[in-house]
Amino acid sequence: MTEQKKKFPLSPTTHESLKKMMDEASRKDARWQDGKTFSLVFYPGEEAAQVQEEAYLRFFFENGLNPSTFPSLRRFETEVVAISADLLHGDGNVVGNMTSGGTESILCAIRAAKEFALEKHGLAQSPDRERLPFLPEMIVPLSAHPAFDKAANYFGIKLHHAPLRNDFRVDVEAVKNLINENTILIVGSAPAYPHGVVDPIEELGQLALEKELPLHVDACVGGYILPFVDQLGYPIPKFDFRVPGVTSMSMDLHKYGYVTKGASVVLYRNSDLRKKQYFIYMGWPGGIYASPSIAGSRSGGVIASAWAMLHFMGNEGYLKMAKAVMEAADKIQQRVEKIDGIHIVGKPDACVLAIGADKLDIYGIGDELSIKGWHIDRQQNPASLHFTISYGNTPHIDTFLEDLETAVRKMRKLSFHKISSRLTVGLVRRASKILSPRAMSRITSKFGKQKKKGLPKRSAAMYGMMAVLPNKGDLNEIIRNMLDGLNRMD
C-alpha cells in the first residue's frame, strides 16, 4: 500500500473556512447529542457543560507540569484528588494525582506497585534494575480492563488472568492459587466493564493482607457512580478504602464524573505508596526533572474543568443524575427480561450491563440497532452487546427499547441477511480447515482492509468470522493493520 501524503499547509486558512471544514468533517460522527452512544460520551446537560467549557477556556494555555508556576492548578488538582478520595471513603492519609484517563491511572498504580516490590527486594536503586533477578507478576481478573495487559506489556510484567465464577465475578480462590513469590500486585474491578459486576473486593482485601501484597481496585467506570447508587439505597458491596487491604484505586472523572475527556484520578492508601509512582531524574543539563505521573506537560483546562464540575454538581447534583441513570437501567433490565430470546448477562450491580441472546444472533441484533444510529460495543465469550448507561441516554430509553424490540423481531424472522452472514461464517470455517494459513491470512486481511473506513454497518458476519478463525495470530495482524489504516490519510 502506498502512503498518501498531505503537505504542510503553505498559506493560512481562514477561521470561517475552518469552521466549514469542521462541520463537513463531523458530518458522519456519532450523534451523541441524541443520546445514541452508550459509553464514549458522558454528557451532564447544557448548564454543567457550559460551566466546564468556561473553566477550560479560562485555563486554556496554562500547564499543569510545574505546580509552583500555577498555584491555581496545584490547588484545583489537590482539591479534586482530596474530594474524590473522600467520596471513596479515604481517610486523611489517602493521596493521589490527576491523570489523563483510566489507562494512565492504572499504569501509574502498576508502576508504583512494581517500585514497591523492587524496594522490598532491595533492588530499587540497583544499577542492575534493568536485569532483575526475577520476573514480576500480577494477577488480574479475566474481566479487568485491557489497560492492565497494556501495563504488563509496557513494564515487563508477567500477567495472569484469573478466571471468573459463574456470576462473572473473579474467582478469589483461583487468584490465591496464582500467587507466588514473584507476585507484585493483585487486582479487582468495581465494577468490571464487560458485565458491570463488582468483584468480591472484601475477599480480595483479606487475601492481599494475608499475602502482604498490594491490591488495586479499578473503579474507573464505577468511582463516580457507585457511591451515589449506594446512597440511593441499592445494595452495593463495599469496594473502596473502607475495605482493609485496598492499597490503590483508579476512578475516571471523564466517565461518570461527566468531566471533559482527559481526566482521571489515581489514589493511594498513603503517601509512601504514592511516592513510588514518581519519576525523578537528577542528571539532566536542563535541570532536575521531577514528574508525578506518566504525562509531562498537562492541560490546565482539564484540571480546572474537573474542579469546576465537581463543585458545580456537588453530592446533590451527582445523586440526581445517578437516580435518573438507575431508573433508566432498571427500565432496560425489566423490559429485556420480558423480551423472548434475549437476556441480561449476569446480575449487574449498577448501570453498566450486557445483553445476550440464547438462540438469536446477538451481533445481528446489534447491527439492526446500528442501522438505527445506536452505537453499541460488541463483546465476546459470551457474545453480547454492551451498554454503559449515562445521563445523556436517559431521555431516550423508550426509543431505544422500541428499537431493540424491533431488532429482536427482525432477527427472529431468519432474514436473508442472517442466512448470508451464516453462510459467510460457515464458509470461512470450512475454508480454514482446508486452506493453508497463508491463504487464510490473505482472505482475512482483505477483510481487514474493507474495514479501513470504519466498521461496516452490518458486522455480524465479521464477528462470527473472528470467532472461528483458527489462529488468533492472524487476528492480531488483521487488527494491527486495521489500526494502522485508521491512523492513516484516506
| Contact positions vs ligand PLP (CB under 6 A) | 101-103, 145, 147, 189, 193, 218, 220-221, 252, 264
Question: How far is CA 182 from its chain centroid?
Answer: 27
Question: How far is CA 490 from its chain centroid?
Answer: 28
Residue 120 identity (one-letter amino acid) = K
CB 467 within 8 A of CB 380: yes
What CA–CA distance (Å, rounded) separates 65 from 12? Answer: 31
User: Shortest distance, CB of residue 103 to ligand PLP, whole angstroms?
Assistant: 3
CA dihedral 462, 362, 352, 236 (to 10 degrees): -130
Q: Which is nearer to ligand PLP, 56 or 447 (CB)?
A: 56
Q: Which is nearer to ligand PLP, 172 or 187 (CB)?
A: 187
Q: Which is nearer to ligand PLP, 253 or 460 (CB)?
A: 253
User: Shortest distance, CB of residue 224 to ligand PLP, whole angstroms?
Assistant: 12
Q: Which is nearer to ligand PLP, 198 or 360 (CB)?
A: 198
- Kindly list the strands in the beta sheet with 384-388, ordered across the sheet, starting from the edge strand earlier in the chain: 342-344, 352-357, 384-388, 377-379
Residue 52 CB burial class (10 angstroms; 0-12, 13-18, ≥19): buried
User: Shortest distance, CB of residue 373 to ligand PLP, whole angstroms?
Assistant: 23
Residues 6+ apart with CB under 8 A from 268: 94, 95, 96, 109, 112, 247, 248, 274, 277
What CA–CA distance (Å, rounded) separates 379 from 348? Answer: 15
Residue 486 identity (one-letter amino acid) = L
Q: Which residue is nearest to ligand PLP (CB)?
A: 102
User: Shortest distance, CB of residue 5 to ligand PLP, whole angstroms?
Assistant: 31
User: Shortest distance, CB of residue 449 to ligand PLP, whole angstroms?
Assistant: 27
Task: Please tell me the total number of residues recorded for the chain in this structure.
Answer: 490
Q: Which is nearer to ligand PLP, 105 or 441 (CB)?
A: 105
Q: Which is nearer to ligand PLP, 214 or 364 (CB)?
A: 214
Q: Which is nearer to ligand PLP, 147 or 164 (CB)?
A: 147
User: Shortest distance, CB of residue 354 to ligand PLP, whole angstroms?
Assistant: 13
Residue 221 identity (one-letter amino acid) = V
Question: How far is CA 388 from its chain centroid?
Answer: 11
What CA–CA distance (Å, rounded) separates 318 from 310? Answer: 9
User: Shortest distance, CB of residue 145 to ligand PLP, whole angstroms?
Assistant: 3
User: Shortest distance, CB of residue 239 to ligand PLP, whole angstroms?
Assistant: 12
Q: Which is nearer to ligand PLP, 149 or 477 (CB)?
A: 149
* Closest C-alpha among 272, 231, 271, 258 to residue 89: 231
Instruction: List strand residue ranges (DSSP E) for 298-376, in order.
Output: 342-344, 352-357
